[in-house]
Structure 1
């Protein structure tokens, strides 16, 4: 009986917690949706830079980043979910705050939104290896809101 009483008290206390709670999970393609629901030209999702060291090495990869957009249109709590290399994740995390969420009208986002964006880094070789279908077949990162970062291999020539 004592365990039943303790369980009921815990349940009651849990049910009475603040209504703010954790950020809501964003829907599929939510970053694109939030940008397009209002003024799509206001949020400029610029493409991250291809890491130079990765381009020189002929390295391709991906990174998935979770981040929260607050009602005050600030980016918080960026978390690396998947990454084939640290430099891909770092470039992705550098560009997310630069997307111009602060240009949206006030009230567009009424509660914190948890967003997830997958960044696919691909070096084109002229054989169609950077098409959406080809990248999706070989990726090891999760996420439906995908940004493709296509680069070219850097070669140095000595004369």
Structure 2
């Protein structure tokens, strides 16, 4: 797996997401179509683990979180940017999703959760905000952001 292969893999996923509203029905569709343990989920998780091990994913570190944007939004990814983070029992910086966010949760520790979600997918609607939190262990999380839009905010715990 090299970054170009990773982009081709992601493009196959984003082709199915283009133009869909980011809402609870999309989360349900993703978890039914590509659930944890499915071939697509496993291929994405394996690619992310390989990319981290080889150093081309999560190649930055701050505040105990490894992260990195591997793909900027392009026509090849149907306007989605792709970020991957590696977190262990930590809350990340508070941010808002102007256009929403689609997350693929890949626990590295059995039972690890992301914002309370187990292995699989979660979707945040446009205008939503959160302080991304991995609990009960370590997980990789792949973020798909329409047009790459994310706004980091100040909250009480970061002021």
Q: Which of the two has greater helix per residue?
A: 1
User: Could you tell me the TM-score, scaled by structure 1's length?
Assistant: 0.28
Q: Which of the two has greater strand per residue?
A: 2
Higher relative contact order (CA 8 A, sep 6+): 1
User: Could you tell me the TM-score, scaled by structure 2's length?
Assistant: 0.28
